[in-house]
Amino acid sequence: MSESHTLEALFGGTFDPIHFGHLKPVEVLAAQVGLKKVTLLPNNVPPHRPQPEASPSQRVEMVRLAIANLPLFDLDLREMQRDTPSFTLETLTELRAERGDNQPLAFIIGQDSLLTLHKWHRWEELLSLCHLLVCKRPGYDSTMETPALQRWLEQHQIRQAEALHQHPCGRIFLADTPLVSISATEIRDRLHSGQSCDDLIPPAVSAYILAAGLYRKP
Ligand code: ATP
């Protein structure tokens, strides 16, 4: 049991670019669960997806601009500073070693990531290092892709957030967050075809994309 530590939450992503679909659900999740800080972890070489269009430094700059006036959020560049693939398990192992065994740690994902978590590197070990907090995402139901993942969810899911604060790791909490129908893919597609995305991303990120000539028409 952990009594003197504050639950610490991490949110990894490609952020190509960061958008309101990342920020809004997590703000609601933080209020629901009682998170004081959410640390964004932009990944360098995402192992299971196509390479990002924006460079690592551009993605970091967009994250910085997006959170500049949002005190809930923080930024951790450790995955950017490695040139090996960003495996969440390795990052969490490193953080766990730094924080010690009693610190409650949580990793935030969207529902789409939960459904395919069995594709993550050594996914069954994740809960030995952290809790998982899951935000709803439109278009993704509750059907896990494999029976093993479904069983794992049933074994570890909790319905009340209190246990997240009382234990260092091992629980999965599906939060009641708003459905925000935005993806970075849609943003890149819209920008490629010359459409505006001002309603989908923070204004400072829009201005940066324009000035840097990012996601232009091919
Ligand atoms: P892409 O469209 O390029 O695949 P993305 O919009 O899904 O990108 P990522 O940076 O890959 O964004 O996502 C990081 C995390 O944010 C993932 O866990 C993902 O599930 C979650 N996420 C992204 N968009 C949303 C959204 N609209 N609602 C809830 N969670 C989201």
- pLDDT tens-digit readout, 148-169: 999 999 999 999 999 999 999 9
Query: Whose alpha carbon is nearest atom 21 of ligand 1?
Result: 110
The pLDDT score that the predictor gives to residue 50 is: 77
Contact 167, 104 (CB under 8 A): yes
**Residue 20 alpha carbon, nearest atom of ligand 1:** 27
Verify whether ligand 1 is closer than 6 Å to residue 79 (CB atom): no
The residue among 58 and 50 whose pLDDT is bigger is 58
Percent of the chain with pLDDT strictly greater than 90: 88
Radius of gyration for the chain, computed over Cα atoms and rounded to the nearest angstrom:
17
Q: Say if 209 falls within a structural domain.
A: no
Count of domains for the chain: 1
What is the CA(2)–ligand 1 centre distance, in A? 31
φ, ψ of residue 153 in degrees (nearest 5): -60, -50
Half-sphere exposure of 165 (CA within 13 A, CB side): 12
Q: Mean pLDDT throughout 9-16?
A: 96
Q: Say if 172 falls within a structural domain.
A: yes
What is the CA(4)–ligand 1 centre distance, in A? 32
Q: Say if 199 falls within a structural domain.
A: no
Q: Mean pLDDT throughout 178-198?
A: 96
Kindly state the helix (H) or strand (E) to which residue 74 belongs, with its residue range.
strand 73-75
Verify whether ligand 1 is closer than 6 Å to residue 22 (CB atom): yes
Whether 47 has a pLDDT exceeding 60, the answer reads no
Residue 176: CATH number of its domain? 3.40.50.620
The pLDDT score that the predictor gives to residue 90 is: 94
> Does residue 39 come out as left (phi exceeding 0), alpha (psi in the -120 to 50 range) or beta?
beta
Quote the CA–CA distance of 58 and 134 in Å, as a whole number. Answer: 27
Kindly state the helix (H) or strand (E) to which residue 61 belongs, with its residue range.
helix 56-67
Complex prediction ipTM: 0.97
Q: Say if 145 falls within a structural domain.
A: yes
Q: Say if 139 falls within a structural domain.
A: yes
Which residues span the domain enclosing 59?
Answer: 8-181
Q: Say if 201 falls within a structural domain.
A: no
Q: Say if 167 falls within a structural domain.
A: yes
Q: Say if 104 falls within a structural domain.
A: yes
- pLDDT tens-digit readout, 60-115: 999 999 999 999 999 999 999 887 877 999 999 999 999 999 999 999 999 999 99
Verify whether ligand 1 is closer than 6 Å to residue 180 (CB atom): yes
Mutate to test the pocket of ligand 1, among 41, 108, 112 (most ligand atoms within 8 A of CB): 112
